[in-house]
Amino acid sequence: MKYYSLNKKAAKVSFKDAVIKGLAPDKGLYFPERITPLPKTFFKNINTLSNVEIAFEAIKQFVSPEIPEEVLKTILEETLSFDFPIVTLNKNISTLELFHGPTMAFKDVGARFMARCLGYFNQNNTNEVTVLVATSGDTGAAVANGFLGVKDVNVVILYPSKKVSDIQEKQISSLGQNISALEVEGTFDDCQAMVKTAFLDQTITSKMQLTSANSINVARWLPQMFYFMFAYKALKSTYKDIIFSVPSGNFGNVCAGMMAQQLGLPIHHFVASNNQNNTVTKYLKTALYTPKPSVQTISNAMDVGDPSNFIRIQEIYKNKFETLKNNMSSFSFSNDQTRAAMLEIYTKYNYVADPHGAVGYLGAKAYLEKNPDSHCVFLETAHPTKFLDVVEHVIKTKQALPSQIQAVIGNTKVATKISKYEDLKKYLLA
């Protein structure tokens, strides 16, 4: 498979080069040159397949021939070593729990897959690779855990000061070894801008090999297709019109769902559920894409004012606004609405949702108002104890800490504070 830059001013590259480069030389995101739908029999018989078998069929065209099939199967077995349960709240709404991995967030799958791909590509390489990543919370935690101890790979994570939860910060900044944390005075958008600038700074790239582990990287983004297939496998025999409500920040997850749909997965519609960072919600109302600085909310992993992956979504739909609008709705919700949703989910269904899942729940309810015969699955993207202060304050109930959280909560934070791009440049070159 070859990948091209969405800015259309760079040469096509292999999967391996797209993973290692992260971002194309013309600043564009990489996109596969073709998407070959899977046979209809695959989806008809999907309930007979294991998660690893489903993932293998979904991803193999995108990584071939750089990763041999037997190696790919091993990578997937190691990546998907935990469960993805569905919890049904009522006849119209279910939630897909994506937080059963080591850092208790949906990004564990992409980070683990990418780390293993990069480890395979780098096994005979004498040069070190530096993974440079911006995070609004869960990406950094998943990348830190996924790449911990990977040979000849150094990881540098930028996160916005005081804008991630305490547990997320510990997961990012306390592992040591080949993981370094930079605490940025600013927003996630500032972190992301610094990372993109570094990739294009030849005084840095001439001295070190940089790659990204944000969802701009194809190896982080594409494995997120798996979630939607796993949910379909669980629900296909019970529900006909399956909708996914996806809490959306950088839009990698909903975009991956659309890729699964392009492969033939019978997804009826998508809902992009936003917090107050609602650039895409406004776009679908006005057809005008106007990014703006992000604002801080209680669903911090979605605090993105200029979502990187939206350009991939536009590419999927050939930049046809009406086609996209017919396949995706978007709604935006405030902090107060999010808190009220968390309380409603708890009191009505005895289910504890994190703030991001609550936004997804609100998106599902908004869509169902005009489509009452559908079944909507909202993604529960992180374990609620990662946002303990918010969750316990809202539902007034003490939450037990899972073992994954207990393992890091007592760790010591080690982070270098920076405030501008020159600080990052100096750090990397040192």
Contact between residue 256 and residue 348 where contact means Cβ atoms under 8 Å apart: no
- Note whether residue 351 is domain-resident: yes
Query: Over 52-75, what HEC string results?
Result: HHHHHHHHHHHHCCCCCHHHHHHH
Structural domain tally of the chain? 1
User: For position 101, what pLDDT does the model report?
Assistant: 93
Contact between residue 9 and residue 26 where contact means Cβ atoms under 8 Å apart: yes
Nearest 5°: the CA angle 30, 214, 138 is: 155
pLDDT bin (cut points 50, 70, 90) of residue 123 is confident
- Note whether residue 342 is domain-resident: yes
Collect all residues with Cβ–Cβ distance below 8 Å to 185 and sequence separation of at least 6: 161, 417, 418, 419
pLDDT bin (cut points 50, 70, 90) of residue 141 is confident
Phi, psi of 354, rounded to the nearest 5 degrees? -80, 170
Distance CA 137, CA 305 (A): 15
Q: Which residues are catalytic?
A: 107
What count of other Cβ atoms lies within 10 Å of the Cβ of residue 400?
Answer: 7
Enclosing H/E stretch for 195: helix 188-199
**pLDDT averaged over the chain?**
93
Distance CA 256, CA 253 (A): 5
Q: How confident is the model over 246-266, as pLDDT tens digits? A: 999 889 999 999 999 999 999
Distance CA 203, CA 111 (A): 28
Backbone region of residue 149 per phi and psi (left: phi > 0; alpha: psi in -120 to 50; beta: other values): left
User: For position 404, what pLDDT does the model report?
Assistant: 86
Q: How confident is the model over 162-213, as pLDDT tens digits? A: 888 888 899 899 888 899 999 999 988 899 899 989 988 999 999 998 888 8
Q: How confident is the model over 81-102, as pLDDT tens digits? A: 999 999 999 999 999 999 999 9
Residue 327: domain span: 76-104+221-402
pLDDT at 368 over 90: yes
Contact between residue 266 and residue 232 where contact means Cβ atoms under 8 Å apart: yes
| 69 or 409: which leads in pLDDT | 69
Residue closest to 182 by CA, chosen among 158, 152, 207: 158
User: For position 386, what pLDDT does the model report?
Assistant: 87
pLDDT at 397 over 80: yes
pLDDT at 348 over 80: yes
DSSP 214: S
Phi, psi of 189, rounded to the nearest 5 degrees? -60, -35
* Residue 82 belongs to domain with CATH number: 3.40.50.1100
pLDDT at 137 over 80: no
Amino acid at 7: N
pLDDT at 356 over 90: yes
pLDDT > 90 fraction of the chain, expressed in percent and rounded: 73
- Note whether residue 252 is domain-resident: yes
Phi, psi of 120, rounded to the nearest 5 degrees? -65, -45
User: For position 92, what pLDDT does the model report?
Assistant: 96
- Note whether residue 248 is domain-resident: yes
- Note whether residue 310 is domain-resident: yes
Phi, psi of 36, rounded to the nearest 5 degrees? -95, 115
Highest mean pLDDT among 66-80, 131-145, 161-175: 66-80
Helix (DSSP H) and strand (DSSP E) numbers for the chain:
20, 14
pLDDT bin (cut points 50, 70, 90) of residue 129 is confident
Which CA distances in Å does 232 have to 95, 265, 380?
12, 8, 16
- Note whether residue 329 is domain-resident: yes
pTM for this predicted structure: 0.90
Contact between residue 114 and residue 215 where contact means Cβ atoms under 8 Å apart: no
Q: How confident is the model over 33-63, as pLDDT tens digits? A: 999 999 999 999 999 999 999 999 999 999 9
| 340 or 296: which leads in pLDDT | 340
Question: What average pLDDT does the segment 113-128 reach?
Answer: 85
User: For position 391, what pLDDT does the model report?
Assistant: 95
User: For position 223, what pLDDT does the model report?
Assistant: 97
- Note whether residue 182 is domain-resident: no
pLDDT bin (cut points 50, 70, 90) of residue 344 is very high
- Note whether residue 15 is domain-resident: no
Q: How confident is the model over 217-239, as pLDDT tens digits? A: 999 999 999 999 999 999 999 98
Contact between residue 424 and residue 159 where contact means Cβ atoms under 8 Å apart: no
